[in-house]
Amino acid sequence: MSEAPAGFDDTEHPDEVVTKADVMGLFEVIEGPAITTSDLRLHLGVSAERARTLLQELVDEGRLGSRTPGQMTLYWRRDSEASVTVPGFLTGDE
């Protein structure tokens, strides 16, 4: 059995107390533009099912984008800071 994340209190049920705001806060902690369900499990101590639910709710709200290039789904912020536009690349405009 693996160790609980630092600061994890096993008397609480993290699936019930972790919020979407907590998930969005991970983008300030984790290096790189994307997070995975494993990141939520490791850093927030939630179950894989709860991690997937929270991430999918954020995708449905338009706050996160997602892509599954293989077996792992990547999630990223869909805000102006995280967005990069390359004129003409996707639209054909020059």
* Domain architecture of the chain: domains with CATH: 14-76 (1.10.10.10)
- Measure the CA–CA gap between 60 and 17, rounded to whole angstroms: 21
DSSP, residue by residue, 24-61: HHHHHHSSSSEE-HHHHHHHH---HHHHHHHHHHHHHT
- pTM, full prediction: 0.69
Q: Which contiguous run of DSSP H or E holds residue 66?
A: strand 64-67
Mean pLDDT to the nearest integer, 39-60: 95
Q: Which residue has the higher pLDDT, 80 or 32?
A: 32
Percent of residues in the chain assigned helix, strand, coil, to nearest 5: 35, 10, 50
Give me the pLDDT at residue 94, please.
46
**Range name among 8-12, 44-48, 57-61, 75-79 with the lowest pLDDT average:** 8-12
Give me the pLDDT at residue 6, please.
52
Q: Which residue has the higher pLDDT, 79 or 41?
A: 41
**Range name among 13-17, 25-29, 48-52, 54-58 with the lowest pLDDT average:** 13-17
Judge whether 12 and 46 are in contact, CB under 8 Å: no
Coil, strand or helix at 71: coil
92: tokens are 């054909």
